Amino acid sequence: MPTRRRVITTGLTAVAGVSALAAAARLADRFGLIPPDHGGIYGVGETLTYAAQRLLTMHHPLAREFSHSQVSAVAPVNGEPPDNEVYQRLLSDRFAAWRLTIDGLVARPSSWSLAELRQLPSRSQITHQACEEGWSFIAEWTGVQLAYLLSAAGVSTRARFVVFYPFDFENNFWDSLDMADAWHPQTLIAYGMNGVKLPTRHGAPARLTVPRQLGYKSVKYLARISVVDDITRVGNGLGSASPDYGYSWYAGI
Amino acid sequence: MRHSPSVRITHWINTVAFAALVVSGTAILLAHPRLYWGETGGVGASSILDLPLPFMLTGQSGWGRSLHFLSAWVCVGNGLLYAVGGASSGHFRRDLLSASAYGTLQRLAYLTVVFGLLPLMIWTGLAMSPAVTAAAPVLVEVFGGQQSARTIHFVVTSVLLVFLAGHVAMVCLSGFRSQMRGMLMGTRS
């Protein structure tokens, strides 16, 4: 038989436990440790992984970089270029009319042509890109740091996520990054690969590259970048097209 | 065999988590059932083992990954509880590290699994994470690359499955009912 003392102790422990959990959830949200797709039973695992990896990388370490001799001879791709008219017209014109728009919570909404992007300070990095399917390759990427474009546009202090839209928003993967990955020095808007212009199937004219996450986060065929505070009001509200296909928003593992 | 409550509880949580890890790991593997050595590998590159399985490019690795990481967290948390319980209760010292009711080979097998193979699974798993290896590159470098870590992850899984077959066979051979009673209720046969 449970004594009265035992009932009281158990009750107090339960209340303390629930309060601690609520406080932890509040703290986690405040420090950006909860991913947009945190719902459901799998969301528990996603949140633990995201929070643990954000704490582990709080000093923003660089992903490993390699030497030219380690660049892979074969760089496989998944997915086809957008087959809509706008993209095909840009492609036939070698992207002369292409512009990359930056809007949302920025002081100076702007757009850049490919020639203008090439004029900006560039960074080249030889990094490892793994696909969630299991294969991987090493390639050299050349482009402008996203941080440079964000600084030029003047990002609001309210910014929580940066959203990336490809040409064909409906049929191509759109995605988003938190500010930790958006400001990271290795997060590039890449227009070159292995010393040549970015090949069409690798996302021409420009793509995102995020070497601290798996390949599917590196959005190809970029058209627009938008800075937001509330990701739940974008698209499906889960921060990425990936959850529609069963894949998580965060892909650092 | 009589087992303490902490051994019994962690045993069954581990059973469920391990089963989920194997099922979800297989779903992930089926997206690309080919193994490589070094940093990179893919279609068009030379592999060290082509498993006789189909490439299932139908998005099975999506739920596979979600279930894999959720059950990995359960497995790690449960493993820590087991390790703390085993060290503080004297279970490791009494039953595994010194002569006990278990044979020498049996104790060696359990020690290898608990302190060798399961930590190696976690290590090789983390060595495949691009964010973790940014923070601690040595985790993947000791294996010679991300694809090597993936291959070792697969090979050690296979060894664990062989151990599991032996474990279940011995439970059956030494009296299934009394062994199950021991692990479920903690009572003597």
Chain A CA closest to residue B136: A61
Q: Which residues of A fall within a CB distance of 8 Å from B131?
A: 53, 56-57, 212-213, 252-253
SS3 B45: coil
| Beta-carbon separation of A64 and B133 below 8 A | yes
Chain A CA closest to residue B47: A135
Domains of chain B by residue range: 5-39+47-184
Each residue of B164-177: pLDDT tens digit? Answer: 999 999 999 999 99
pLDDT of the residue at A80: 86
pLDDT of the residue at A21: 82
Let me know: does A189 contact A205? Beta carbons within 8 Å: no
Tell me the HSE value of B162 on the side-chain side, using a 13 A CA sphere: 8
Is A227 a domain residue? yes
Is A15 a domain residue? no
The whole-angstrom distance between B36's CA and the closest CA on chain A is 9
Chain B CA closest to residue A48: B73
Chain A CA closest to residue B73: A45
pLDDT of the residue at A113: 98
Q: How confident is the model at residue B188 (pLDDT cuts 50, 70, 90)?
A: low
Let me know: does A88 contact A130? Beta carbons within 8 Å: no
pLDDT of the residue at A89: 93
* Helix pair B146-173, B5-29: axis angle to 10 deg: 130
Q: Which residues of A fall within a CB distance of 8 Å from B67?
A: 42, 45
Q: Which residues of B fall within a CB distance of 8 Å from A177?
A: none
One of 1.20.1510, 2.60.40, 1.20.950, 2.40.128 is the CATH number of B5-39+47-184, namely: 1.20.950
pLDDT of the residue at A121: 98
| Beta-carbon separation of A134 and B65 below 8 A | no
| Beta-carbon separation of B43 and A74 below 8 A | yes
Contacts 24+ apart (CB under 8 A), A54-58: A54/A180, A56/B131, A56/B132, A56/B135, A57/A180, A57/A212, A57/A252, A57/B131, A57/B134, A57/B135
Alpha helices (runs of H) in chain B, residue ranges in sequence order:
5-29, 60-89, 91, 104-112, 118-126, 130-135, 138-141, 146-173, 176-184
DSSP labels, A104-150: ESBSS-EEEEHHHHHHS--EEEEEEEE-TTS-EEEEEEEEEEHHHHH
pLDDT of the residue at A129: 97
Q: How many domains does chain A have?
A: 1
Each residue of B125-138: pLDDT tens digit? Answer: 999 999 999 999 99
| Beta-carbon separation of A128 and B146 below 8 A | yes
Q: Which residue in B28, B40, B123, B133 has the most chain A C-beta atoms within 10 A of its own C-beta, making it the best mutation to test that interface? A: B40
Mean pLDDT of chain B: 95
pLDDT of the residue at A169: 66
Q: Which residues of A fall within a CB distance of 8 Å from B63?
A: 42, 246
In one-letter notation, the amino acid at residue B83 is A
CATH number at residue A220: 3.90.420.10
pLDDT of the residue at A171: 66
Tell me the two tokens of residue B21.
């890890």
Is A127 a domain residue? yes
pLDDT of the residue at A4: 77
Q: How confident is the model at residue B59 (pLDDT cuts 50, 70, 90)?
A: confident
Q: What is the mean pLDDT of each run of 10 residues along chain A (253 residues)?
A: 73 84 82 93 96 96 98 91 90 95 98 98 98 97 98 98 88 90 98 97 97 97 97 95 94 96
User: Residue A239's domain spans which residues?
Assistant: 63-245
Let me know: does B186 contact B3? Beta carbons within 8 Å: yes
> Rounded to an integer, what distance in angstroms lies between the CA atom of residue A20 and that of residue A22?
5
Task: Please count the other Cβ atoms lying within 10 Å of the Cβ belonging to residue B46.
Answer: 8
pTM given for the model: 0.93
Main-chain phi, psi angles of B177, to 5 degrees: -65, -45
Each residue of B2-31: pLDDT tens digit? Answer: 899 999 999 999 999 999 999 999 999 999
pLDDT of the residue at B56: 86
> Rounded to an integer, what distance in angstroms lies between the CA atom of residue A148 and that of residue A121?
8
Using the predicted structure, report yes or no on whether residue B36 has a pLDDT greater than 90: yes
| Beta-carbon separation of A45 and B61 below 8 A | no
Let me know: does B7 contact B82? Beta carbons within 8 Å: yes
Each residue of B70-112: pLDDT tens digit? Answer: 999 999 999 999 999 999 999 999 999 988 888 999 999 999 9
Each residue of B100-111: pLDDT tens digit? Answer: 888 999 999 999
Q: Which residues of B fall within a CB distance of 8 Å from A73?
A: 44-45
